[in-house]
C-alpha cells in the first residue's frame, strides 16, 4: 500500500466503524450517509488488501489485521486533531484513546478495577489494555510507545526512563480459618513450622521475607511455587499451607476466600511500587494527563 495514494479520510471511517462496531452508527457519528461509509470501507479494504471488519451477531468485528491497525490509526488521528486545532490540552471526556499499561497481577487486582470504575465516570471512552510483562522486559516497547506506562516493584535504571514511587506496601500472611496448627496469632515458630506456597521469583534477588529470615539463619519450608499471586489463596483455602503476599491483596483475598490474615512475625520494611515511563512520552498531552491521574489515583489507595 502506498500511503500517498490513500485518502486519509478513510482512516476516519475505519476508526468510527472500529469504535461503533456498526456501519450505520459510524455514518451517524461522521454525519455521512450509510452508502458513503460502506463505499469508503470498500475502498479501504482494497487499499489494505484485507476485509478489516466482518459481520457478526455482535456487529462489525475487526479482523486480526483490523485490530493491529486500530491503535496506530487512533493515535495518528489524535495527533492530527490536536495539531490542527493547535490545542495542547487533552480532551479526555471525549477521547477514545487506548492506553497500554504493563502490570502484573498485583496491579490487575488492586489498582485496575478501581481505576476503571473512576475512568468510566470521568473519561468513559478511554480504553485500557494490559500487558503482563515486567518493565524490564518492555524497554523497547516503552521507548517506542507500544506501552505507555508500567507498574513495577523495581526501578528501570536506564537512560531515558523515568520512575516515580506511587505507593508503598507491606506483607501479610494468610491461612484457612480452621487451620489446625495456627491460632489467633502467627508466631515466628509457628510461621517456620508451616509449609508455604510462594510466588516464583522474578529476579535473582532473594524475596524480602526470605532475606529477613536468612539474616537470622532461618528459612521457610516451601512446598509449592506458583507463577501468580491469585493461585496462592486458592491453594491455601483448601490445604494446610500458608502464604505471604502484599497487604492490600491479602485483605482482598481474605474477604473473598474466607481466609484469616496475620501480621508477618518479622520486622519487614515497606517496599515501593513504581510507575515507569519513557521520556519520549513527556510531551504527549494525553500521556501526561493519564500519567498524572494514575499517580494521583495510586497515592490515594
Helix locations, 6-63, DSSP H: 9-20, 23-30, 34-48
Confidence (pLDDT) at 3 = 58
Residue 4 CB: number of other CB atoms within 10 A?
5
List the CATH number of the domain containing 178.
3.40.190.10
Query: Is 92 part of any domain?
Result: no
Same domain, yes or no: 281 and 258 = no
**Residue 160 belongs to domain spanning:** 98-166+272-299
Percent of the chain with pLDDT strictly greater than 90: 55
Contacts of 217 (CB under 8 A, 6+ apart): none
Same domain, yes or no: 250 and 193 = yes
Confidence (pLDDT) at 77 = 80
Confidence (pLDDT) at 5 = 65
Query: Is 62 part of any domain?
Result: yes
Reply yes or no on whether the pLDDT at 197 is more than 80: yes
Contacts of 91 (CB under 8 A, 6+ apart): none
pLDDT per position as a tens digit, 241-268? 999 999 999 999 999 999 999 999 998 8
243 or 29: which leads in pLDDT: 243
Name the band, by pLDDT with cuts 50, 70 and 90, for residue 180.
very high
Reply yes or no on whether the pLDDT at 88 is more than 60: no
Is-contact 50 63, C-beta < 8 A? yes
Same domain, yes or no: 204 and 257 = yes
Same domain, yes or no: 256 and 215 = yes
Reply yes or no on whether the pLDDT at 157 is more than 90: no
Name the band, by pLDDT with cuts 50, 70 and 90, for residue 82.
low
Same domain, yes or no: 287 and 161 = yes
Q: Rg of the chain over CA atoms, in angstroms?
A: 24
State CA 300 to chain mean position distance.
Answer: 18
Same domain, yes or no: 38 and 64 = yes
Reply yes or no on whether the pLDDT at 86 is more than 50: no
Helix locations, 123-224, DSSP H: 139-144, 188-193, 208-214
Query: Is 130 part of any domain?
Result: yes
Domain count, the chain: 3
Confidence (pLDDT) at 277 = 94
CA-closest candidate to residue 147, choices 290, 292, 267, 293 = 290
Q: How far is CA 21 from CA 14, 55, 251, 259, 275, in A?
A: 10, 9, 40, 43, 33
Q: At what angle do helices 64-85 and 9-20 cross, to 10 degrees?
A: 120
Q: What is the mean pLDDT of residues 190-204?
A: 91
Q: State which of 48, 69, 90 marks the end of a domain.
A: 69
Confidence (pLDDT) at 241 = 97
Q: What is the mean pLDDT of residues 228-245?
A: 95
Reply yes or no on whether the pLDDT at 117 is more than 70: yes
CA-closest candidate to residue 266, choices 224, 184, 211, 228 = 211
Confidence (pLDDT) at 299 = 86
Same domain, yes or no: 188 and 141 = no
CA distance 233 to 250: 9
Name the band, by pLDDT with cuts 50, 70 and 90, for residue 79.
low
Same domain, yes or no: 254 and 217 = yes
Q: Report the mean per-residue pLDDT for the chain.
A: 89
Same domain, yes or no: 181 and 162 = no
Same domain, yes or no: 177 and 255 = yes
Confidence (pLDDT) at 137 = 85
Confidence (pLDDT) at 273 = 93
The three-state (H, E, C) secondary structure of 258-296, written as one string = CEEEEECCCCCCCEEEEEEEEHHHCCCHHHHHHHHHHHH
Query: Is 75 part of any domain?
Result: no
Confidence (pLDDT) at 174 = 97
78 or 70: which leads in pLDDT: 70
Q: What are the grid coordinates assigned to 48, written together?
A: 489494505
Q: What is the mean pLDDT of residues 44-67?
A: 90
CA distance 41 to 13: 7
Determine the 3-state secondary structure of 163 from DSSP. strand
pLDDT per position as a tens digit, 130-151? 998 878 788 888 988 889 999 9
Highest-pLDDT range among 72-86, 204-218, 242-256: 242-256
Confidence (pLDDT) at 166 = 93
Same domain, yes or no: 281 and 146 = yes
List the CATH number of the domain containing 58.
1.10.10.10
Same domain, yes or no: 158 and 182 = no
CA distance 201 to 130: 21
Is-contact 209 268, C-beta < 8 A? yes
Confidence (pLDDT) at 236 = 97
CA distance 192 to 186: 10
Reply yes or no on whether the pLDDT at 87 is more than 60: no
Query: Is 202 part of any domain?
Result: yes
Name the band, by pLDDT with cuts 50, 70 and 90, for residue 4.
low
Amino acid at each position: 500500500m502506498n500511503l500517498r495514494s490513500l485518502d486519509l479520510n478513510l482512516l476516519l471511517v475505519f476508526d468510527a466503524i472500529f469504535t461503533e462496531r456498526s456501519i450505520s452508527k459510524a455514518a451517524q457519528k461522521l454525519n455521512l450517509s450509510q452508502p458513503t461509509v460502506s463505499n469508503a470501507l470498500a475502498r479501504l479494504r482494497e487499499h489494505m488488501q484485507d476485509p478489516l471488519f466482518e459481520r457478526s451477531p455482535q456487529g462489525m468485528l475487526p479482523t486480526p489485521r483490523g485490530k493491529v491497525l486500530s491503535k496506530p490509526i487512533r493515535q495518528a488521528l489524535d495527533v492530527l486533531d490536536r495539531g490542527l486545532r493547535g490545542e495542547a490540552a487533552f480532551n479526555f471526556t471525549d477521547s477514545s484513546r487506548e492506553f497500554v499499561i504493563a502490570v502484573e497481577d498485583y496491579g490487575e487486582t488492586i489498582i485496575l478495577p478501581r481505576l476503571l470504575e473512576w475512568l468510566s465516570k470521568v473519561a468513559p471512552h478511554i480504553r485500557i489494555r494490559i500487558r503482563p510483562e515486567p518493565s524490564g522486559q518492555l524497554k523497547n516497547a516503552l521507548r517506542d510507545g507500544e506501552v505507555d506506562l508500567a507498574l513495577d516493584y523495581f526501578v528501570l535504571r536506564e537512560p531515558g526512563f523515568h520512575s516515580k514511587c506511587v505507593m508503598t506496601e507491606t506483607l501479610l500472611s494468610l491461612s484457612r480459618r480452621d487451620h489446625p496448627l495456627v491460632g489467633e496469632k502467627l508466631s515466628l515458630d509457628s510461621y517456620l513450622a508451616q509449609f508455604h506456597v510462594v510466588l516464583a521469583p522474578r529476579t535473582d534477588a532473594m524475596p524480602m521475607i526470605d532475606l529477613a529470615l536468612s539474616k537470622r539463619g532461618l528459612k521457610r519450608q516451601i512446598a509449592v511455587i506458583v507463577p501468580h499471586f491469585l493461585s496462592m489463596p486458592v491453594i491455601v483455602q483448601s490445604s494446610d499451607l500458608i502464604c505471604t503476599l502484599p497487604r492490600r491483596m491479602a485483605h482482598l483475598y481474605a474477604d473473598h476466600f474466607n481466609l484469616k490474615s496475620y501480621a508477618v512475625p518479622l520486622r519487614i520494611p515497606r517496599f515501593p511500587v513504581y510507575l515507569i515511563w519513557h521520556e519520549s512520552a513527556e510531551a504527549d498531552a494525553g500521556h501526561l494527563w493519564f500519567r498524572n491521574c494514575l499517580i494521583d489515583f495510586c497515592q490515594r489507595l
